[in-house]
Amino acid sequence: MNARVGALNFLGGLNLTRLAGPVIIILILAMMVLPLPTFLLDLLFTFNIALAIIVLLVSLYTIKPLEFAIFPTVLLVTTLLRLSLNVASSRVVLLEGHTGADAAGKVIEAFGHFLVGGNYTVGIVVFVILVIINFVVITKGAGRIAEVSARFTLDAMPGKQMAIDADLNAGLIGEDEARRRRTEISQEAEFFGSMDGASKFVRGDAVAGILIMLINIIGGLTVGVVQHNLDLATAVNNYTLLTIGDGLVAQIPALIISTAAGVVVSRVGTGEDLSRQLISQLFNRPQVMLITGAILSMMGLIPGMPHLAFLLIGGALAGGAYYLDQRSRAPAPEIPEEVVEAPPPEPQEVGWDDVTLVDALGLEVGYRLIPLVDRMQSGELLRRIKGIRKKFAQEMGFLVPAVHIRDNLELRPNAYRITLKGVEVGYGEAYPGMLLAINPGRVLGDLPGTPTQDPAFGLPSIWIDADLRERAQAYGYTVVDASTVVATHLSNIIQTHAAELLGREETQQLLDRVKREAPKLVENLVPDLLPLGTVQKVLQNLLDEGVHIRDMRTIIEVLADQGGKIPDPDMLTTAVRVALGRAIIQQIYPGTGELQVVALDPQLENILMQATRAQGPGEGAGLEPGLAENLLKQAEMVVQQQEQMGLPAVLLVPAPLRTLLARFLRRAAPQLKVISHSEVPENKNIKVVAVLGGRG
């Protein structure tokens, strides 16, 4: 009893659907060895035909190739199934073929008699024609398409990956959507690569079908004449018809499967299945249908031609063209609009409302870019700007002011400019309806278009027509549309000037946000311990060096502890950075236990430490001009070397020197992060990969 219960629990714990694949493969392989009764052969041949039809219909209704990602494996399984059935039926034909045409089952008999009229010569011709169509035409073409698609998909992967990163940085998509798109790109390359190899299964199956047919005919004649004493004519009739029926019942499903493969790999994704594509693209042009109908009608009037067929089809096409033309000419219902003249406005007195305050963030566009920011025209850029602000708030810890958008007729038609507190900080041009192909550094070819530079990062780029997108991605370019260009530029400006966008109003709102969840934490900070301006300055110092301020609890706790003793914002910033050490290191070195850093030359470090103690912190304190210039040049070289090795550029210095060097090196090497020893967690290993300083 216990054993039975244990067995039932074991079977219940198994996922039976996961056993389907191994069981089917084992049964297919078993058919090659074990003898099968004729009734079971009939069922399996019928199942093979049904499976081929199902695969064909699924391929016709598939919109994207990845919706049928199992197709390469289906090709292998169906090919193996046909070969197993061939082996099993060949065994029955050779053993029982002398008894008559139904020796191998009713399905093979039907294909041998009814489809080819019982004439084995016709059967051989039909079989060879099917094999040629399958092997030479369909399978070869589908294999070639899969091969080219796999190569171009692999070549286009870097550009597509960078396009996903651009959308992620612009706030258009989240991490989950970016991860899903990257997975889809990888699966697409794997699919076409697998289809390239899987097409060889079908080609091998066609060759095997011809060889099996010849072997069965020769072997059947030998068995019938030698072992069963049949006369040659009877043996030829029986074994040839059985072999032809066996070959046809296998090759017709093979032809259907090959057709499905060709349909899947030759599809161009438009978001529609095959039926809708055929109707919308092939039979939706009245001019084409009218000309075709006229040509067929004229051919039908030629003496000797089948008048009824040509005139019938020609008239049907002409009627279809007339219907399409009338449908396109039908006027849309118009809604009358009443025009009401507005009364002339009365003159208003000048007041304080007429004083326009400067916007913290502004975007001015030329008149050709107005559709991108017009709500009435579903401006895509408006949605993207909202996504940028939301993503920035989630990453950096505060909400930047709203972007005030206006048109500016003084700008060039396709130009735009980004302003910060009324001052221009970014300028560029965008062309709606065109695409910007950005050269990430390694591309496979040139593109026709207008050369320019990416306004956000200064990379060489080309404005191209929209129909060149696939070609540009195949060459390795990162391809983005006009709204993405502006959104990415705006996102880069916000990241660069984050500290300037954190005003006192934003600081107070940030403190109020924390106060709602932890009122005691903020209660005595402002203004009892520190003025609001000092808190703002500390937060700006952090943002200046790219440190997010999401962990406001830790920041406020440090300010509350040190505020009564240290009034200086720079010294408070140093204390806050030490408390945020883990977050700072994780932001620079995500997911790694070893920190590969740049260190100061010991002699230079001693000089700076002595100067700091003697003179106090100050920008460039204790550095003679020649040494300072050499230090800046070396910093630029170190940043380039670290970027080439794929490593972050980080300078590790003693705590008293961190603020001094961070400000001194910021202009020459903004990518260089300066951290102190006290900010590194104890569980991190430090590895010095370069030394900065000295005279060289």
User: From the CB of residue 314, how many other CB atoms can be counted at a distance below 10 Å?
Assistant: 20
Residue 391 in domain = yes
Write down the pLDDT at residue 115: 60
Supply the range of the domain harboring residue 636. 589-696
The rounded distance, in Å, linking the Cα atoms of 692 and 630 is 10
* 536 touches 502 (CB < 8 A): yes
Cα 439–chain centre separation = 18
Same domain, 125 and 65: yes
What tens digit of pLDDT does each residue of 587-600 get? 888 877 788 899 99
Write down the pLDDT at residue 481: 92
For the ranges 271-275, 361-365, 459-463, 675-679, the lowest mean pLDDT is seen at 271-275
* 610 touches 604 (CB < 8 A): no
User: At which of 579, 609, 644 does a domain end?
Assistant: 579
The rounded distance, in Å, linking the Cα atoms of 532 and 520 is 17
pLDDT band at 10 (very low <50, low <70, confident <90, very high): very low
Q: Is the pLDDT of residue 336 over 70?
A: no
Write down the pLDDT at residue 660: 86
Same domain, 108 and 243: yes
Q: Is the pLDDT of residue 346 over 70?
A: no
With 0.85 as the threshold, say if the pTM is over it: no
Q: Is the pLDDT of residue 253 over 60?
A: yes
Same domain, 143 and 203: yes
What tens digit of pLDDT does each residue of 132-184 get? 777 777 777 777 777 777 677 766 777 777 777 777 766 677 777 878 888 88
The rounded distance, in Å, linking the Cα atoms of 495 and 381 is 18
Q: Of 103, 126, 127, 339, whose CA–CA distance to 213 is shortest? A: 127
The rounded distance, in Å, linking the Cα atoms of 455 and 426 is 8
Mean pLDDT value across residues 657-670: 86
**CATH number of the domain within which 514 lies:** 1.10.8.540
Same domain, 182 and 95: yes
Write down the pLDDT at residue 696: 47
Write down the pLDDT at residue 331: 62
Apex CA 235: angle with CA 234 and CA 238, to 5°?
80
Q: Mapping DSSP to helix (H, G, I), strand (E, B) and coil, where does residue 595 land?
A: strand
Q: Is the pLDDT of residue 11 over 70?
A: no
The rounded distance, in Å, linking the Cα atoms of 267 and 339 is 51
The rounded distance, in Å, linking the Cα atoms of 616 and 633 is 25
How far the first Cα of the chain sits from its last, in Å, is: 86
Same domain, 380 and 297: no
Q: Six-digit token pair at 117?
A: 């009229």
For the ranges 41-55, 188-202, 373-387, 663-677, the lowest mean pLDDT is seen at 188-202
Could you tell me what percent of the chain has a pLDDT over 70? 86
**CATH number of the domain within which 596 lies:** 3.40.50.12790
Mean pLDDT value across residues 561-571: 87
Count of domains forming the chain: 5
Q: Mapping DSSP to helix (H, G, I), strand (E, B) and coil, where does residue 418 land?
A: strand
Q: Is the pLDDT of residue 122 over 80?
A: no
Q: Tokens 């889809």 sit at which residue?
A: 184
Q: Is the pLDDT of residue 333 over 90?
A: no
User: At which of 448, 464, 498 does a domain end?
Assistant: 498
pLDDT band at 57 (very low <50, low <70, confident <90, very high): confident
Per the omega criterion (within 30 degrees of 0), is the bond before 440 cis? no
* 242 touches 67 (CB < 8 A): no
Between 58 and 330, whose confidence is greater?
A: 58
396: Cβ contacts below 8 Å, ≥ 6 apart: 498, 543, 548, 549, 550
The rounded distance, in Å, linking the Cα atoms of 176 and 173 is 8
pLDDT band at 16 (very low <50, low <70, confident <90, very high): low
The rounded distance, in Å, linking the Cα atoms of 690 and 696 is 14
Same domain, 562 and 597: no
The rounded distance, in Å, linking the Cα atoms of 167 and 658 is 35
Write down the pLDDT at residue 324: 77
Rg (CA), the chain: 38
Same domain, 44 and 163: yes
Same domain, 415 and 552: no
